[in-house]
């Protein structure tokens, strides 16, 4: 009897997770159907692009700049201990930022800022029955709320990652010049020696997948929100947590796939 009591909540949780996965998949399908049919609210899409891209630029700039600085400082310190002088700073800093740290850290920042905001906004509309009002007025909530956010995240996150890479590399250049007395030509030359189009696309493809995960989870948690203000808070916390976990898991498999294909 005791074992049955313990098994029921666990079984129910598995069923709820499977059901949630199906609902999220249907949300993605409905969103892409609207996009393919051209059912796009241009005004809302532009507003969301400004919110995701332009408004996130300062925090992405600040974060990536200091990440590049810290990375160059650590690499210089490690190589100085190994080779008695700081070497390969530009090579390791640029390669790490473009292929891995740029997409991951930028997505983490955008998840905390944009993903949480999307879930909170849609969740608030859900618990206050504004989404039901959209149905009553004959407006498709997926088209009105999800589609603009999907387009904005898919377009803006890769662009933010590209900017993040450039700023991070510049941050590394500042440290390598001021701390390790490495000429900027040597630093940039080290980067160009290892940087290829394939290296860039490796991180670029990751950023597109991460954007899809971010906006899917954020919108899904918002549409499934319930329980008033407390429910909105729980949905927002869950959205950020689930997005980061899925992003890190998918990062490994994407890295393994892209590396094994030997294309990117």
pLDDT tens for each residue of 65-115 = 999 999 999 999 998 888 888 888 999 999 999 999 999 999 999 999 999
pLDDT of residue 16: 77
222: in domain = yes
pLDDT of residue 1: 40
Helical segments of the chain, H only: 2-36, 42-49, 57-83, 89-96, 102-110, 116-127, 130-136, 141, 147-178, 184-194, 197-223, 228-261
pLDDT of residue 10: 66
pLDDT of residue 264: 57
13: in domain = no
9: in domain = no
> Residue 144 class from Cβ within 10 Å (0-12 exposed, 13-18 middle, 19+ buried)?
middle
Total number of domains in the chain: 1
pLDDT, tens only, 191-206: 988 888 888 889 999 9
Of the pLDDT bands very low, low, confident and very high (cuts 50, 70, 90), residue 2 is very low
- Domain around 233: 28-261
5: in domain = no
Q: Indicate the average pLDDT of the chain.
A: 90
10: in domain = no
59: in domain = yes
Percent of the chain with pLDDT over 70: 95
pLDDT, tens only, 107-165: 999 999 999 999 999 999 999 989 988 888 888 999 999 999 999 999 999 999 999 99
pLDDT of residue 3: 47
- Round to whole Å and give the CA distance between 193 and 93: 13
Mean pLDDT within 5-30: 78
- Round to whole Å and give the CA distance between 219 and 173: 39
Model confidence, pTM: 0.90
Higher pLDDT, 149 or 262: 149
181 has a pLDDT exceeding 50? yes
Percent of the chain with pLDDT over 90: 69
pLDDT of residue 11: 78
12: in domain = no
Of the pLDDT bands very low, low, confident and very high (cuts 50, 70, 90), residue 17 is confident
pLDDT of residue 263: 61
3: in domain = no
Question: Tokens 């241009």, residue?
Answer: 42
- Round to whole Å and give the CA distance between 116 and 214: 10
- Altogether, the residues listed in the chain come to a count of 264
């Amino acid at each position: 009897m005791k074992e049955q009591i313990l098994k029921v909540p666990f079984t129910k949780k598995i069923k709820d997770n499977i059901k949630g996965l199906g609902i999220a998949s249907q949300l993605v399908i409905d969103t892409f159907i609207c996009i393919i049919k051209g059912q796009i609210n241009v005004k809302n899409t532009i507003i969301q692009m400004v919110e995701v891209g332009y408004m996130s630029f300062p925090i992405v700039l600040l974060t990536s700049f200091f990440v590049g600085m810290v990375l160059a400082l650590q690499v210089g310190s490690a190589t100085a201990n190994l080779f008695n002088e700081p070497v390969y700073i530009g090579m390791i800093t640029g390669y790490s930022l473009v292929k891995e740290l740029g997409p991951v850290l930028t997505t983490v920042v955008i998840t905390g800022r944009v993903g949480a905001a999307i879930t909170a906004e849609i969740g608030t509309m859900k618990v206050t029955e504004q989404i039901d009002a959209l149905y009553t007025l004959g407006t498709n909530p997926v088209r009105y709320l999800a589609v603009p956010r999907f387009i904005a995240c898919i377009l803006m996150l890769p662009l933010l990652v590209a900017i993040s890479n450039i700023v991070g590399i510049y941050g590394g250049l500042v440290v390598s010049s001021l701390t390790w007395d490495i000429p900027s030509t040597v630093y940039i030359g080290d980067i160009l020696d290892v940087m290829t189009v394939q290296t860039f696309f490796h991180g670029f493809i990751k950023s597109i997948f991460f954007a899809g995960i971010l906006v899917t989870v954020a919108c899904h948690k918002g549409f499934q929100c319930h329980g008033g203000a407390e429910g909105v808070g729980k949905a927002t916390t869950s959205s950020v947590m689930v997005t980061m976990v899925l992003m890190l898991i998918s990062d490994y498999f994407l890295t393994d796939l892209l590396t094994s294909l030997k294309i990117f």
